[in-house]
């Protein structure tokens, strides 16, 4: 069945470090792909999306590229900040959003 | 744009009482809204899909008589937890689709329900 596998956390980085959070999915067809971010005590915010193969979504310095061949949508940021500390969810749209388990990121000053 | 609000943000109630949570799309009309439940340190679980003017569609394992959903207008959906019990304590999050030909959901800030 349709599913999403997300890199398990927690991930702890120092400020200005490079971030990668892996996400792969299994599905028939080519779903739109989303990354959502949840800051402590809050709901989810849309971070970025990509709707077709080779599209790159980007926002707030984060990027993710829709890789059809590897069914992946890895999230990257070149230089993280303390304010990026949050839980990140990968979610392909397969009729409904299917959420990964989330990856908690902690950025230390 | 695309702001979704929820009210209340936190609620504490006694076991056996009912609690209503409101989800509003503030600057757009939402034909479809969704209700999710999130347990501590876990992902979101879709509970139901709410369509304006029609009955909600519940996911398998979700009791429709316990979690009543009403989507009476294009900007408001409500979730009522009836006869709440401590195991219903959770973080409830709604989302809304902006328009019909879209797959982008905008989420509310969530409601923390604690049942004593």
pLDDT at A62: 98
Residues of chain A contacting residue B109, judged by C-beta atoms under 8 Å apart: 42-43
CA distance A73 to A64: 6
- B/e letters for A55-73, b = 16+ CB within 10 Å, e = fewer, are eebeeeebbbbbeeeebbb
Cβ contact, residue pair A44, B104, below 8 Å: no
pLDDT digits 0-9 by tens, A29-74: 889 999 999 998 788 899 999 999 999 999 999 999 999 999 999 9
Among B49, B104, B109, beta carbon nearest to A49? B104
Query: CA-nearest residue of chain A to B38?
Result: A43
Grouping H, G, I as helix, E, B as strand and the rest as coil, residue B12 is strand
Query: CA-nearest residue of chain A to B59?
Result: A96
Most confidently modeled of B7-11, B52-56, B104-108? B7-11
The answer, yes or no, to whether residue A13 has pLDDT greater than 90, is yes
Residues of chain B contacting residue A29, judged by C-beta atoms under 8 Å apart: none
The answer, yes or no, to whether residue B42 has pLDDT greater than 70, is yes
Q: How many residues does chain B have?
A: 116
Which residues, including other chains, have CB under 8 Å from residue A7's CB and lie 6 or more apart?
A21, A22, A23, A103
- Inter-chain CB pairs, A–B, below 8 Å: 39
* Residue pair B22/A59 in contact by the 8 Å Cβ criterion: no
**Strand locations in A7-82, DSSP E?**
11-14, 19-21, 23-26, 33-38, 44-50, 56-59, 62-65, 75-77
CA distance A58 to A39: 18
């Amino acid at each position: 069945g349709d599913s999403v596998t997300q890199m398990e956390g927690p991930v702890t980085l120092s400020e200005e470090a490079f971030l990668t959070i892996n996400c792969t999915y299994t599905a028939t067809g080519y779903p739109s792909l989303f990354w959502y971010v949840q800051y402590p005590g809050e709901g989810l915010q849309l971070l970025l999306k990509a709707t077709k193969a080779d599209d790159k979504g980007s926002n707030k310095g984060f990027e993710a590229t829709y890789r059809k061949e590897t069914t992946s949508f890895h999230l990257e940021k070149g230089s993280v900040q303390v304010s990026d500390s949050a839980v990140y969810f990968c979610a392909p749209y397969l009729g409904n959003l299917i959420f990964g388990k989330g990856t908690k990121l902690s950025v230390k000053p | 744009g695309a702001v979704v609000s929820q009210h209340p943000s936190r609620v504490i109630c006694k076991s056996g009482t009912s609690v209503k949570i409101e989800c509003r799309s503030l600057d757009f009309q939402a034909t479809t809204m969704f209700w999710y439940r999130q347990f501590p340190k876990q992902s979101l679980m879709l509970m139901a899909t709410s369509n304006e003017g029609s009955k909600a569609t519940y996911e398998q394992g979700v009791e429709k008589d316990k979690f009543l959903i009403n989507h009476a207008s294009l900007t408001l959906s409500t979730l009522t937890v009836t006869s709440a019990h401590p195991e219903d304590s959770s973080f409830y999050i709604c989302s809304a689709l902006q328009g019909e030909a879209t797959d982008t959901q905008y989420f509310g800030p969530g409601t923390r329900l604690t049942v004593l």
